[in-house]
Amino acid sequence: MEAQCVSLLFVLAGLSAISAQEDLSRKVFLFRNEPSEAYVILKSQPKEPLHNFTICLRSYSDLTRPYGLFSYATQSEDNEILIFKPKPGEYRIFVGGEYVSFKVPENPVDWEHVCFSWESSTGIAEFWMNGKPWPRKGLKKGYTVSAEAFILLGQEQDHYGGSSDPYNSFSGELADVYMWDFLLSPNKMRSAYQDLQLPRCNMSWKNLEYEIKGDVFVKARLR
């Protein structure tokens, strides 16, 4: 049976909001302030609790301090899923409040494409950067990720609903955000990096339902 996602709307007070659903191919979310209170809500979540998932995204920033990229918080766990970069040369990926670290090259400023997949039955955490796999690690074997989530880009949530520390905020450009409720094959991991055809899902950069909170702009990608 084909895996699917389902839309869910959320409303937050305190920041100006812009809602849309569109094909964002060759576009970016531009977070221009540093630090920032702005973020983008992703209005999709799984129909059922997750036993497997894959998340991919592309980022471009010259930040050297910690920042959150993708935050999936639930009522019981603010770091249910989190893609976090504490410093140049490292990514931390959280599932159920625990994390594994992946050391990456400290390259000159350039786009970085990352994909992360996780399998509950084995606890295997798989990390890819720029189309290449890193050594696999173990994380939260047997855990189930709740489907009742608040999902956003550009911040690390301190609790369900978006409260966050601006000094862990993202500044730069984000693009090509996808989430599946299954594991992508190695070929599809490479396809995601190359921006080729991918399996269908409602949380897709080519059909994204989102809401901007604060100073974030949708702009054409420069390259």
Question: Residue 178: which CATH number?
Answer: 2.60.120.200
The pLDDT of residue 45: 83
Q: Beta-carbon neighbour count of residue 118 at 10 Å?
A: 26
What residue numbers bound the domain in which 29 lies? 5-9+17-220
Nearest to 164 by CA among 12, 1, 4, 50: 12
Strands 90-95 vs 98-103: parallel, antiparallel or unpaired: antiparallel
The pLDDT of residue 15: 53
The pLDDT of residue 213: 95
The pLDDT of residue 16: 62
Three-state SS for 188?
A: helix
Question: Which amino acid type is present at position 205?
Answer: W
Q: Beta-carbon neighbour count of residue 219 at 10 Å?
A: 12
Task: Quote the CA–CA distance of 56 and 186 in Å, as a whole number.
Answer: 13
pTM: 0.90
The pLDDT of residue 162: 66
Number of domain units in the chain: 1
The pLDDT of residue 193: 98
Q: Which residues of the chain have pLDDT under 70?
A: 1-16, 162-163
Q: Burial letters for 185-203: b for 16+ Cβ neighbours within 10 Å, e otherwise? A: eeebbbbbbeeeebbebbb
Q: Beta-carbon neighbour count of residue 173 at 10 Å?
A: 20
